[in-house]
Structures are given as structure tokens and as C-alpha cells.
């Protein structure tokens, strides 16, 4: 690990202290985890990862309709029109 130093406002420090205590971890560990989450959100996903995620998502929902694979475009347009009302 690399040691570093940051400056926080009093409010940030108190908030960090409370959140770390709530999770029963050090403030440094809390900052590392928060940074990891942020980096994961910002990092571009490779095509392979996107493909894997799409395949994992397939079949996880239930529309309640038996013809969704044939009429998906119709249902999509219907949903868009409903959302614009």
C-alpha cells in the first residue's frame, strides 16, 4: 500500500468517522472501499464483460406475456407512449 495524506473539512471528517464506525472499519478502509466503488463506476467495461453481463441478465425478468419475443417492438413503443402521458 501507498501512504498518502488528504485534507477534509470538519463536516467530511465527522461524517467519515461516523460511517466507518457504523461499519466497524477504519476510516482509511472506508475511504479505500469508497474509492474502489467510484473507480468501478468510472472504468469502461470491456466488450467481453458487457457481453457476459447481458447474457447473465437474459431471462431474469418476467413480463407476464407469452408473445414478448414476437411483439417486443410493439410493447416497447407502448411503454414509451405510456411514459409520455
Sign of CA pseudo-dihedral 53, 59, 63, 68: positive
Encode pLDDT of 57-69 as tens digits.
Answer: 877 777 788 888 8
In Å, what is the CA distance from 43 to each residue of 38, 40, 56, 63? 9, 5, 20, 32
Distance of CA 47 to the CA centre of its chain: 18
User: Domain for residue 18, yes or no?
Assistant: yes
Encode pLDDT of 10-32 as tens digits.
Answer: 999 999 999 999 999 999 999 99
User: Domain for residue 76, yes or no?
Assistant: no
In a 3-state reduction of DSSP, which class is residue 64? Answer: coil
Residue 32 belongs to domain spanning: 10-42
Under the banding of pLDDT at 50, 70 and 90, the label for residue 7 is: very high
For the chain, how many structural domains are there in total? Answer: 1
Q: How far is 58 from 1, CA to CA, in rounded Å?
A: 39
Amino acid at each position: 500500500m501507498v501512504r498518502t495524506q488528504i485534507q477534509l473539512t470538519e463536516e467530511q471528517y465527522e461524517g467519515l468517522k461516523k460511517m466507518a464506525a457504523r461499519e466497524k472499519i477504519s476510516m482509511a478502509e472506508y475511504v479505500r472501499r469508497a474509492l474502489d466503488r467510484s473507480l468501478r463506476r468510472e472504468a469502461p467495461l470491456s466488450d467481453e464483460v458487457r457481453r457476459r453481463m447481458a447474457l447473465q441478465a437474459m431471462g431474469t425478468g418476467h413480463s407476464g406475456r407469452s408473445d414478448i419475443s414476437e411483439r417486443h417492438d410493439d410493447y416497447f413503443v407502448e411503454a414509451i407512449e405510456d411514459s409520455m402521458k
